[in-house]
Structure 1
Amino acid sequence: MKLLRSLNDSTTEQVDRSGGGTPGSITAALRHHPFRRVWLGQLTSNTGSWMQNVVLGILAYELTGAAWFVGVLTFAQLGPMLLLSPWGGVLADRFDRRRLLVAIAGTQLVLSLALAVVVVDPTPSKFLITLLVGAIGIGAALYVPILTATIPALVGRRDLQGAVALNSLALNGSRIVGPLVGGLLAATLSTSAVFVVNAGSFLVAIWAVATVRVDLRPVERVRSSPISELRSGFRAAAGDRVILRVLTTIATFSFFSLVFIYAMPVIASERLGLDEFGYTVLFATFAVGTAAGALSAGSYLVQHDRWVVGRWALVVFTVGLTTLALSTSPVVAGVGAFVAGVCYFVVVTTLLTTLQLQTDDAVRGRVMGLWMMAWAGPVPVGALLAGPAIDTVGIVPVLLAGAVVALGLAVSLRHVRSEPPVPA
């Protein structure tokens, strides 16, 4: 309880009391000045990252004309999440999180500039592109768990669900703006220009974290070895029924059902006959859905049982993904992508909120590292394996398999209910 009191005391002093908002809502979370500043910095940085991500997908497909290199770059970008995210959590529980975030974001800035230089060549080296994207992925694997572990210190437990929803909104609002701006910049200027703009976006994130007035040091001084800390994080997850259920659900969903996100260039080209701009619009439609899902999870869905919300979101996600898989009409496919996007981030937000509320502050960084490993880690592995499968059997069977898995997860959660809420 002492740790919880110190966490809440560090945030309540900087809350704007003039506004209202249901506890746990996005409005309530935005009343916390520290969270608002860091959130705006991450929104800017995430927008730059999604500008880069969408252009990388286009570049990969243009260089080879096949899905396999899209899968390779996806694995290089997100593969480190599978192995290194838990180590990011260890760092978060061991060192000053502010210094870690600034150092990693600075490194990301330099790597993005290097990528901009490489793609100036009309026939850039696929090896160098993969190497730099992999290095950027390593930085992200360490950065995201550290950032996620800071959220309770910025808002306190009472408004945590709204903060988680806004964090998801920052990621997915950037999915709307990023692909559109990235596609336009790539078409009017160059691919290299997109990477330069992304590098600049890291400066905003660095400023926000460096200037926020909240103590971001770990709540306890860790004295054991890093290996022991890593093991204790796994033990904490395995020993808690709720945490284990959250992690296994999101890992299965990510591996089997989210391949469509990174196969979007293939869907746009082979199924819908869209050009580069059409692909950008399709991806942005999905992103609008994810933003709507994050807003829903942080507003009127706050008062409902999180497991029930998550289960029905999986059911409707199945419908959206099936529509996207079977459609040859860009409009109908866009509707499917939008529905899948809404439900995707309702699932993610409800699961992550449950995890944050269930996790003890002393192991929060390590558990958030396991979350990132379970959420983002399986996606590149699934994409890497799906690439050859798509080239062999086509995109439709692969997407339908993901829809079936999502429906199976919904059925598996039919008897699960949320634990009693933790007092604020």
Structure 2
Amino acid sequence: MNSLSNLRKSIGESFPAFKENNFRYFWTGQCISLLGTWMQRTAQQWLVYTLTKSPLLLGLLGVAQFTPVLLFTLFTGVFIDRFNKKKVLIITQSSLMILAFILAFLVWSKEVRYWQVLLIAVVMGCVNAWDMPTRQAFIPEMVGKRSIVNAIGLNSSVFNVARIAGPAFAGYMMVKFGTDVCFFLNGASFIAVIFGIILIKPKYSQKSKQRGSILSDVKEGLKHIKSNKIILATVLSVFAVGTFSMNSDVIIPSFATVVLHEGAAGYSFLLSIMGVGSFIAAISVATRAKKGPSKKMLFGSSVLVCIFQILLLFTHSYGLSGIMLAIVGFFTVAFSASANSTIQINTSDEYRGRVMSVYTLANMGTTPFGNLFAGAITEKFNPNVGFFGCGFVALICMMPILVMVKNTSFAKKKD
């Protein structure tokens, strides 16, 4: 009994967000739902690549899915600050569930076409333009401000456990049963997260007053970011790394087949091993939550992820590729979680929805450009050059930002 009590105390001290019922409901639902999401993501990429045999057309899938995020996220942030975030999430998650079932039916019927997958991706993008910034802005309402960093780290950890297990499970299901099963299981997985959200009782509900037009509220949010050098530098870093570096998903299918001569199982294993590195990084961020995000971790990881992508230019063996991708996964998540935490603890509640919408725009909204860039280079040259180009351009973009923050203190903001 004492050992169990000590274990609970140790978990509570290391992961204070777990003390909150709200976060446990949300986190448990995410464990199931994100497994399905990664299964669908893996199956969808493989489906498109087998339909088209084109890295460029695979890149266009990302363009279709993330262009709505690029176009609408700034404006959805205004409404997220005005509306009840819990209700918004129930609507968005239900919509994503329906879309997964539609895709499952199309693949099962053997009538699926490339344009249909693109169309569903566009609709998913429209839903995600609401869903992604809302989920980020909802975290403080679930756990309170003191546990934000820990909650972000734990949320990232479950994302990356799913990133490990999802592709591996998807690879098995695709080989044994077909891609349609992956899409169906993803649709079913949303039931868990919707039920978890329904159970959540927010600690507070922050809504901004509707004082002006949508455009004026967008401008206020951008002014808030510009006035805070820490937030501004972090957002710019996310733009640089998010646009050019975070395109491995576009390159890996071609890398697995063309360079490593692997099939669906080998491809899914590469995604899983990359997820292992990502998971280790997420747990590291969560356990050091009391110290808060550090400047060294934030900008050091942004540079290192670029360097290891550049080194993939010289990688042609399966084992070494797995190790390199695991390292890329580690520094990618170390950067993303640190950036998210830095922005959250330095943002006022009044602007949180708008600021997190800009973060989502920087992290996901520029994906159409990044996917096109990665897909075009990979198709024109080869997957090794694709990795090199993404890492090199991201590193060049980071240089002026590193100069900008050289003498800036990233001390933790007090509540």
User: What does 1:125-164 correspond to in 2, within 5 Å?
Assistant: 125-164=113-152
Question: How well do the aligned residues superpose, as a CA RMSD in angstroms?
Answer: 2.1
Give SS of 1:420's match.
coil
Summarize deviations over 1:99-148 as a string: whole Å, max 9, x none: 11111111111111111111224352211111012111221221011111
- Which residue type is aligned with residue 136 of structure 1? M
For residue 225 of structure 1, report the CA deviation from its aligned partner: 2.8
Q: How far, CA to CA, are the matches of 1:224 and 1:250 in structure 2?
A: 29
- Which residue type is aligned with residue 266 of structure 2? G
Q: TM-score, normalised by structure 2?
A: 0.91
- Which residue type is aligned with residue 184 of structure 2? V
Q: How far, CA to CA, are the matches of 1:416 and 1:210 in structure 2?
A: 45
Rate the CA distance shift 1:417–1:231 in 2: closer, same or farther, 3 A.
Answer: closer
> Does residue 9 of structure 2 align to residue 19 of structure 1?
yes
1:218 counterpart residue number: 206
Q: How far, CA to CA, are the matches of 1:129 and 1:289 in structure 2?
A: 30
For residue 370 of structure 1, report the CA deviation from its aligned partner: 0.5
- Which residue type is aligned with residue 255 of structure 2? I
> Does residue 106 of structure 2 align to residue 118 of structure 1?
yes
Any unmatched runs of 5+ in structure 2?
Answer: 1-7
2:3 counterpart residue number: none
1:384 counterpart residue number: 372
Mean Cα deviation higher: 246-255 or 210-219: 210-219
Summarize deviations over 1:358-391 as a string: whole Å, max 9, x none: 1000010110010000011122321123322221
For residue 329 of structure 1, report the CA deviation from its aligned partner: 0.4
> Does residue 332 of structure 2 align to residue 344 of structure 1?
yes
Q: How far, CA to CA, are the matches of 1:410 and 1:47 in structure 2?
A: 36
> Does residue 221 of structure 2 align to residue 233 of structure 1?
yes
1:413 counterpart residue number: 402
Q: TM-score, normalised by structure 1?
A: 0.90
Rate the CA distance shift 1:394–1:159 in 2: closer, same or farther, 3 A.
Answer: same
Rate the CA distance shift 1:224–1:305 in 2: closer, same or farther, 3 A.
Answer: closer
> Does residue 170 of structure 2 align to residue 182 of structure 1?
yes
1:393 counterpart residue number: 381
Give SS of 2:146's match.
coil
Mean Cα deviation higher: 398-407 or 273-282: 398-407
For residue 240 of structure 1, report the CA deviation from its aligned partner: 2.0
Q: How far, CA to CA, are the matches of 1:422 and 1:156 in structure 2?
A: 15
Give SS of 1:93's match.
helix
Q: Whose helix proportion is higher, 1 or 2?
A: 2
The answer (yes or no) to whether the contact 2:82–2:207 under 8 Å persists in 1 is no
The answer (yes or no) to whether the contact 1:118–1:129 under 8 Å persists in 2 is no
Q: How far, CA to CA, are the matches of 1:61 and 1:330 in structure 2?
A: 20
Q: How far, CA to CA, are the matches of 2:128 and 2:389 in structure 1?
A: 29
User: What does 1:279-358 correspond to in 2, within 5 Å?
Assistant: 279-300=267-288, 303=291, 306-358=294-346
When the two structures are aligned, how many residues end up with a matched partner?
Answer: 405
> Does residue 67 of structure 2 align to residue 79 of structure 1?
yes
Q: How far, CA to CA, are the matches of 1:296 and 1:416 in structure 2?
A: 26
Q: How far, CA to CA, are the matches of 1:299 and 1:110 in structure 2?
A: 36
1:68 to 47, 56, 67: 56
For residue 40 of structure 1, report the CA deviation from its aligned partner: 1.7
Mean Cα deviation higher: 401-410 or 183-192: 401-410
Percent identity between matched residues is 25
Q: How far, CA to CA, are the matches of 1:418 and 1:45 in structure 2?
A: 38
Q: How far, CA to CA, are the matches of 2:393 and 2:407 in structure 1?
A: 18
Rate the CA distance shift 1:216–1:262 in 2: closer, same or farther, 3 A.
Answer: farther
Q: How far, CA to CA, are the matches of 1:296 and 1:215 in structure 2?
A: 27
Q: How far, CA to CA, are the matches of 1:82 and 1:261 in structure 2?
A: 19
